[in-house]
Amino acid sequence: MLLMTKAHHSTMVRLGSLCCKGPRGLSPWTGVCQFLQTSQKIIQFASGQEPQPGDTIIYVAGAFDLFHIGHVDFLEMVYKQAERPYVIVGLHFDQEVNRYKRKNYPIMNIHERTLSVLACRYVSEVVIGAPYAVGKDLLDHFKVDLVCHGKTEVFPDKDGSDPYAEPKRRGIFRSIDSGNNLTTDDIVQRIIENRLQFEARNQKKEAKEMAVIEAMKRREARGSRKGKFFIL
């Protein structure tokens, strides 16, 4: 992530290497870990609320990568568009996000982004792997009353069409200005600029942890030798 490499997009990671292995395979406490999604994790984050009669169902879609205060401010403004809002967020699959944002986005995979968005108080439901084009089927299925999008650029669909053509045709599309210009690109740039500091900090932390592990091993070895002495 710090170097914007493509390692986190790889589907060839072996299960045995998913967790608790740092860049040198040293400390089990400071390192990287591949996120494993489960249904129980989703349930813990989900509100579990169904839309009620009289609710205004509002749909927004996007990547919501590295979920940050800019996203929160936008969703808060969306939430304020109705007296009784029911906000549904459509999250695009990783491959779709990479298609229109290119470079090495998204940084977080679809599972991580799902839990990040579900944790937001203004969100009632999340569509995991929502279609890029907000079409008739989606609008009718969720009985959407309003579709919102922020001030960020709207990338065309694969065929060059406007992904919001249908809600615009129905007159239910609204552009929202959250007043916050922070973007995921801004955060990534900050991380890249400070990556050497982060790496140095983690290397020191990892060295201390390895010293603790070695001390524990020596203590266990001494205890084992004493135990054998008393048995004899």
What is the per-residue pLDDT for 29? 61
Question: Measuring CA to CA, how many Å separate 118 from each of 60, 67, 158?
Answer: 13, 11, 28
What is the per-residue pLDDT for 9? 62
What is the per-residue pLDDT for 46? 73
Intervals of the chain under pLDDT 70: 1-35, 226-232
pTM above 0.85, yes or no: no
What is the per-residue pLDDT for 158? 94
What is the per-residue pLDDT for 196? 83
Q: Determine the Cα–Cα distance for residues 202 and 70; give it in Å rounded to an integer.
A: 28
> What is the residue extent of each domain of the chain?
57-186
Tokens for 176? 């929202």
Domain 57-186, CATH 3.40.1160.10 — does that match? no
